[in-house]
A and B are shown apart, each in its own frame.
Chain A
Amino acid sequence: DARVTQTPRHKVTEMGQEVTMRCQPILGHNTVFWYRQTMMQGLELLAYFRNRAPLDDSGMPKDRFSAEMPDATLATLKIQPSEPRDSAVYFCASGLLVKTSGKLLGANVLTFGAGSRLTVL
């Protein structure tokens, strides 16, 4: 089965340190999402990429978070500097939107990675 691979699976760091989480989407998928999950807030959308272009990062704290897709096989989420309130599980998900006659069609069925559990002390 094709899968979304996230690294690291667990990360413990101290406040103020830089944290980088990586995601390898399923080969051929053209959409990538970053979600953050906490007990208090549930599942929050941080960033949405389509064909490597960032389309929505309105849920992401801009002063410390950044998300990029340097190429089609890698998405990164960086936090600098990290704070204790960033402790959460970060999920990456990828999907495929089909283009027909220049139009995007179909439903975006997402495959999720196993998540990166971040603890900031």
Chain B
Amino acid sequence: AQSVTQLDSQVPVFEEAPVELRCNYSSSVSVYLFWYVQYPNQGLQLLLKYLSGSTLVKGINGFEAEFNKSQTSFHLRKPSVHISDTAEYFCAVSASAGGTSYGKLTFGQGTILTVHP
């Protein structure tokens, strides 16, 4: 089974400042990793994903994340945030091989990013 821990429940930041949202995962098998974003009163949208290859992945809206296998982390970063980035961000993991649970996504508890002017 897989599990995800998002280390910060809330992250306040000023506009144009950099931000990092932290995510650690636990799994006994290789994994795929995802970040989803949820704007108020909406469903979740895919921000970016790590499947294989380069450990630095770029997503939409200027976000990027780095997969660190030794630290079992997949932290999300943006060098300069905008007011419109205010949302809740979810890290998710799924096993990359076999079994009935293949394809099942396990989500973290979410991190609320609030960007202040």
Contact = CB atoms under 8 A, between A and B. Distances in A.
Interface of A: 4, 31, 33, 35, 42-43, 45, 48, 50, 55-56, 91, 93, 95, 97, 104, 106-115
A105 B39 CA distance: 30
Contact of A55 (B43, B100, B109, B110): B100
B103 A97 contact: yes
B113 to A, nearest CB: 15
B43 A104 contact: no
B101 interface: yes
Interface of B: 32, 34, 36, 42-46, 49, 51, 90, 94, 96, 100-110
B94 A108 contact: yes
Contact of B46 (A48, A104, A110, A115): A110
B104 A109 contact: no
Given A42-B107, A43-B110, A107-B94, A56 B44 contact: no
Contacts of B106: 45
Contact of A56 (B90, B94, B104): B104
B23 to A, nearest CB: 14
